[in-house]
Structure 1
Amino acid sequence: MTSILTNTSAMSALQTLRAIGADLADTQDRVSSGYRVSEASDNVAYWSISTTMNSDNKAINAASDALGVGAAKVDTAYAAMESAIDVVDEIKAKLVTATEDSTDKTQIQLEITKLQEQLSAVAQAASFSGENWMVAADDADPAVVVDGFIRNADGTVKVTTAEFAVASYAMFGTMNDGVGGEGILGSVMNVTLESQSSVTEIQGFLDDVESALAGLTDAGAALGALITRIDLQDEFAATLSDAIETGVSRLVDADMEEESAKLSALQTQQQLAIQSLSIANSSSQNILSLFQG
């Protein structure tokens, strides 16, 4: 039966055209955005995972940036430590020279005094962003370096840190009017030669200097170990960030080759659906021929 009030063929063709139009719009959106899951309605599970992992990745990158600041602090302290070792070596050499009876110990002390001043200057200069690890009191809290961000199995998050015992490894415990005291180098700053200083006294100063060198060596080793950890963590953070980005990409990124093929097919289907609708609409006009005499 043909009706002039209801064109079922046109209705069917229109529904098909609408469905193709919706699919075409979705495909065009994927092509333009590059995502097959761009919002929760596209895929709740994948969208939830990608949102959480992208947030964690930003936190990891932030921790990596903080790690860079920590690395700068460690490098600054290590540079000061190396310089201090060189200066203490010089003081040690001057003391060995002073053990010879014919030397002018007063003149040697003038040189040692300048070297002691250099130690104070090195310690004061070992500051990064207002933080100095080379001058710290005996009860100072450990210096903390942020080195990572982790998400636990129960969903809680945690920022991981590395510590450096500044109280144990500081060159000086105090700094008064630019002169360092206490700490690893406190005994070195007390070295004072006089013209009548005996070999025994000089030997005592040498023992103090040797003890200070051992302390500086231990501190340098601790800083070196921290530098190694920071370098490894920095490399790991970069690798982890890349892995997370790759994993999220597999969940939400559109396959552009596939979407391109779909787009071409849907455009063709849309054209055919429009022609089908046009044919269905024209069928009603054929009824006119039934009433022509």
Structure 2
Amino acid sequence: MTSLHTNISAMTGLRALVATHDLIETTHSRVSTGLRVSAAKDSAAYWSIASKMRSDVTSLAAVQDALGIGSALIATAYAGMAAAEEVVSRIKSLLVSAKDPNVDRAKIQSEIGQAQSGLISIAKSASFAGVNWLETGIENMHEAEDEFRVSSIPASISRGADGRPDLAMLGVDISTVSLFNSDGGGILQADKRSPKTIGGLRYVSSSTETGYTVNGPNRYGWPAQQTFGFDGSVTFGAGDTMSFTVTVGAENASDPDLPPPYSAGYDIDVFIDRSLVDSVLPTANGTISTPQELAQVIRASIPGDPVSVGYRDYTYSSGYEEKYVSFTDPQLWSGSEGASMAVSNFTTTTSTTGGLANSSMSYGVTASHLSLSFEPFRVHPGVVVGFEFSAYGQTRTYAITRDVVERALGTDDGIVHTSEDMVKVLQSIMGSFPNLIIETVGSGLQFAIDRSADRNSAWGTGISVSSVDVNIEPLNDIGILDVDVAINPDMIDRYQQIVDKMHEQIITAASNLGAASNRIDMQKTFIDSLSTTMNRGIGHLIDANLEEEATRMKALQTQEMLGIQALSISNASGEMIAQLFKL
């Protein structure tokens, strides 16, 4: 049905034309922007995800820039360290040349001086954006807090609690890379961290590389002994006899450290006759001619060897003769035995005695005390002082650290100021050692064994400190700028030891810087890859396919032309009806 008032066909064509025009606008926008989703109205979910990812990509770019700064800092320090390594290596070779007594050491020192100046220049020049790790100004560097000693640089990417990309920092301990520090402690300077004698636990020695020995004070017990000079042959006839009593182990009542009751020891009876001599010396015809033979006969008379019978028979080049027979407690005895020895009740029917006779009581040396000469010292962070302590046959290993000192003294500086402080520190780690007393004596201190609980004496006693080790030693007690082979030719060996260690420290520091640089470079590469991947993901979500959109644009344009033609035809039908009525 055709209506003059309502052209349904035209209205339908118009709506189709408007829809086509809207699609053309949408497609045109996609082609011109290159985006399929350019606003939340296009796709709220995709637009939201893409917006977050774009923000992450922007953050990654900032992280990349920060990593570039960190990389530049490390690269600058590494370049300086590598240059310093070459110079120190050159100084090492010059020191080898200086050992030749025929060279002109003044000229060699001139070259060393130039190298020393070069090291200063390298350290001063290794600065990036005002930051210099090779020449520093840290006060008391090895004691400084992290905020003064540790430099933080961007090193890698991390994710915060909100999932956003963020920077992870790398802390570089400047004390491990500084060549010269204004307050000392740099790699090429003297190291002041030595605990010296460790409060008396070790001896000073000029012959060792560290200046200190691995051994400390010691005191050892010694057994009681009776010695009789051999004064000639002893001949036993058929009825001759010789007898005496050896008293062993009577405790010394005058020992102020040994409380009563006192052991009276025990007696060993010795009896010698012709038959015993013949059994020991079958070809001697009853005559004992030497100290060795007398010792053999006495041994045979004492079952079980409860005492050691020794001898000496030696003539020196000067003609002096040393001939004697001795009685000693067995070497490994402990307890009160061996604390004393005496010979009594001596009788003989022989015409000579060989020098044997009654004697007074001889007491052995009991080492129940060991004194230490104290001097103050400091245990720096990271320093471990190890040592072995032995007393009365027992040995244990101990360690003194910064934490041990501070817990024992309730301080925070690691300094042991007095002998009273030293006693507290030692008691805190050695308190369980059996029967050990650690106490001050005057300005020093001593280890002592409680004799009321342990009555060991002589061979069974002794106190010693040994195997002393400080983990950071040997230290550089001379700086590289102090090396002077012209003035101090006798120091060349020591210079070599110190420069060798400095060279090793520089290599280690350069290696650590190189490792940190590699870490940052890996992160930079990773962030590049991550940014590319994220951008690709954003493109998958919101980018337009231009080939499809171009094809769609042509189709819509054709559709628009057809719509216009259809609308024209629809409008023409009313005109045709009007023409009929004009006829």
Q: With structure 2 as the length reference, what TM-score do the two structures score?
A: 0.47
**Matching residue within 476, 481, 484 for 1:192:** 484
1:273-284 aligned at under 5 Å gives the runs: 273-284=563-574
Asked if 1:292 is matched to 2:292, the reply is no
Deviates more, 1:73-82 or 1:147-156: 147-156
> Structure 2: how far apart are the matches of 1:195 and 1:129?
40
Q: Deviations over 1:205-235 (max 9, x none)?
A: 1111111111101101101101211221121
Could you report, residue by residue, the CA deviation over 1:112-146 in whole angstroms, capped at 9, with x for unpaired residues? 22211110000001111211121233233433332
| 8 Å contact kept, 2:40–2:47 | yes
User: Match of 2:187, as an amino acid?
Assistant: I
* Counterpart Cα distance in 1 of 2:107 and 2:159: 63
CA distance in 1, matches of 2:156, 2:43: 30
CA distance in 2, matches of 1:238, 1:79: 25
Aligned to 1:77: 77
The separation in 1 between residues aligned to 2:124 and 2:160, in whole angstroms, is: 41
Contact 1:149 1:159 in 2 (8 A): yes
Shift of 1:67: 2.0
Aligned to 1:166: 174
What is the CA deviation profile of residues 170-226 of structure 1, one whole-angstrom value per residue up to 9, with x for unaligned ones? Answer: 111129xxxxx540011212223344531xx22221111111111101101101101
Measured in 2, the distance between the counterparts of 1:238 and 1:93 equals 45
Which residue of structure 2 aligns with residue 89 of structure 1? 89
Secondary structure of the residue aligned to 1:283 is helix
Residue 56 of structure 2 contacts residue 164 of structure 2 at CA under 8 Å; is this kept in 1? no
Unaligned runs of 5+ in 2: 190-478
For residues 131 and 493 of structure 2, what CA distance do their matches in structure 1 show?
A: 36
1:101 positional shift: 2.8
Deviation at 1:248, TM superposition (A): 0.7
More deviation, 221-230/19-28: 221-230
Q: Larger RCO: Structure 1 or Structure 2 (Cα < 8 Å, ≥ 6 residues apart)?
A: 1
* Structure 1 range deviating more: 119-128 or 225-234: 225-234
Contact kept? 1:63, 1:147, Cα under 8 Å: no
**Following the alignment from structure 2 to structure 1, what is the Cα–Cα distance between the partners of residues 60 and 125?**
31
What root-mean-square deviation, in Å, do the aligned CA atoms of Structure 1 and Structure 2 show?
Answer: 2.1
Report the counterpart of residue 51 of structure 2 in structure 1. 51
Q: Distance in 1 between matches of 2:161 and 2:26?
A: 36
Which letter does structure 2 place at the counterpart of 1:203? D
Moved more, 77-86 or 153-162: 153-162
Which secondary structure state, in structure 1, belongs to the residue aligned with residue 550 of structure 2? helix
d(CA) in 2 for partners of 1:280, 1:141: 88
Give the direction of change, closer, same or farther, for the CA distance of 1:144–1:130 in structure 2 (3 Å limit): same
Distance of aligned partners of 1:17 and 1:154 in 2 relative to their CA distance in 1, 3 Å threshold: same
* Corresponding residue for residue 118 of structure 1: 118
Give the Cα–Cα distance (whole angstroms) in 2 for the partners of residues 262 and 142 of structure 1.
62
User: Which position in structure 2 is the counterpart of 1:239?
Assistant: 529
Is the CA contact (8 Å cut-off) linking 1:64 and 1:147 kept in structure 2? no
The runs of at least 4 aligned residues of structure 1 exceeding 6 Å deviation read none
Alpha-carbon shift at residue 94 of structure 1 (Å): 2.0
Q: Which moved more, 1:267-276 or 1:184-193?
A: 184-193
Letter in structure 1 aligned against 2:4? I
Match of 2:458 in 1: none
- The answer to which structure has the higher helix fraction is 1
Q: Contact 1:24–1:266 (CA<8 Å) still a contact in 2?
A: yes
Report the residue type matching 2:173 in the other structure.
A
Match of 1:4 in 2: 4
CA contact (8 A) 1:148 1:237 kept: no
What is the rounded CA distance, in whole Å, between the counterparts of 2:34 and 2:561 in structure 1?
25
**Normalising by structure 1, what TM-score?**
0.89
Deviation (angstroms), 1:153: 7.2
Give the Cα–Cα distance (whole angstroms) in 1 for the partners of residues 179 and 186 of structure 2.
5
Which has the larger strand fraction? 2
Q: Structure 2 vs 1, CA of residues 20 and 38 (structure 1 numbering), >3 Å: closer, same or farther?
A: same
- d(CA) in 2 for partners of 1:31, 1:24: 10
Aligned counterpart, 1:65: 65
Residue type of the alignment partner of 2:575: Q
Contact 2:156 2:520 in 1 (8 A): no
Give the aligned residue type for 2:546. Answer: M
Moved more, 31-40 or 69-78: 69-78
- Tell me if 1:208 matches 2:216: no
SS in 1 for 2:170: strand
Can you list the C-alpha shifts for 1:134-173, whole angstroms capped at 9, x where unaligned? 1233233433332444445743442223332222211111
CA-CA distance at 1:105 after TM superposition? 3.0
Alpha-carbon spacing, 1:153–1:268, altered in 2? closer, same or farther (3 Å)? farther
Number of residue pairs matched? 286
The one-letter code of the counterpart of 2:574 is S
Counterpart Cα distance in 2 of 1:129 and 1:33 = 42
Q: Distance in 2 between matches of 1:25 and 1:222?
A: 61
Query: For residues 48 and 488 of structure 2, what CA distance do their matches in structure 1 show?
Result: 81
Q: Percent identity?
A: 38
Q: Distance in 1 between matches of 2:158 and 2:85?
A: 38
Equivalent position of 1:25 in the other structure: 25
Aligned counterparts of 1:21 and 1:151: Cα–Cα separation in 2: 47
Contact 2:60 2:165 in 1 (8 A): no
Where in structure 1 are there 5+ consecutive unaligned residues? 176-180
- The worse-fitting range, judged by mean Cα deviation, of 37-46 and 145-154 is 145-154
